[in-house]
Amino acid sequence: AINTIRITLAALLLVAGNLLIEGRLLPASCTHHQLLILAISGVIGLTIGDGCYFKSLVILGPRLSSLLTASSPIFAVIIAWVFVGQELGVLDLLGIAVTLAGISWVILERNRNSFGAQAGPKALGYLLGICGSLAQAVALTMAKVGMGDNIPPLNASFVRMVSATVAIWVIVIATGRLSRTREALKDGRAMTAMSAATIVGPFLGIWLSLLSVQYTKIGIASTLMATTPLFIIPLVMVIHKERPSVRAIFGTAAAIGGVAIIFLF
């Protein structure tokens, strides 16, 4: 229910953002073929991919599910190479490997506690996590192809989010979960928090991700997006007054070093 409302709010924000910034929802030069690719990309990434991730999160907890999400750049590199012809140099691949190793080192620090995990078949959790990562990689590659050289990332984000919104509402209605969505709308405190999170995540996050894909290779962009868990560390320090462990510091340093290899060499 929360994800349904979140995506719907993001679609509305993208409508407003496109009209204010781009002055239109779509450029006149876009083709039906491009719009179809972007729409399918939105359904695969934002509906199917996010749905798999959230279910994996419930079963496995945040650490293992985040680790599986961090595998998305591996899929992205392979898919972009096979279908788009984007090849990466040895140093690029080394930088990606070092970055992902650092992220994994941080995420797995307290995996034995399985914090946040709930009852459920662990094999299903792993499968959903991998499917979510694969879906994100496929969606990102399709978005790159769909944008071409004539559709701005903000316009493309609008198409992807609207298609995802339509798809998720069809699923909600078809599975009889409409009442749960209505109940979620009545929770004022949750709605306030989610509105703020929607601006940062589905609105700015999706837009900036497509900007990244426009200006760099898909594998590199996907790797940078996978560094999200590292930003949790300073937030925990500020909000919860917790000191990061030595492992977290070294893992973060390794990930930053990997990013440096990608951009400096």
Residues 129/49, Cβ–Cβ less than 8 Å: no
pLDDT for the residue 120 = 66
Helix (H) / strand (E) element for 71: namely none
| Alpha helical stretches, state H, the chain | 2-17, 32-42, 50-60, 62-69, 72-79, 90-107, 122-147, 153-174, 178-185, 188-198, 206-215, 218-225, 228-239, 246-264
- The DSSP secondary structure of 163-208, one letter per residue, reads HHHHHHHHHHHHTT-HHHHHHHHT-HHHHHHHHHHHIIIIIIIHHH
Question: What predicted TM-score, i.e. pTM, was given to this entire model?
Answer: 0.86
pLDDT for the residue 113 = 47
Separation between Cα atoms, residue 9 and residue 54, nearest integer Å? 18
Residue 43 DSSP label: I
Write down the residue that tokens 């599975």 correspond to: 175
Residues 37/101, Cβ–Cβ less than 8 Å: no
pLDDT for the residue 119 = 58
pLDDT for the residue 118 = 59
Per-position pLDDT tens, the chain of length 265: 777 888 999 999 999 999 999 999 999 899 999 999 999 999 999 999 999 998 898 888 777 787 788 889 999 999 999 999 998 899 999 999 999 999 888 877 754 444 455 556 888 988 999 999 999 999 999 999 999 999 999 999 999 999 999 999 999 999 988 888 888 777 777 778 778 878 888 899 999 999 999 999 999 999 999 888 778 778 777 877 778 788 888 888 899 899 889 877 7
pLDDT for the residue 173 = 92
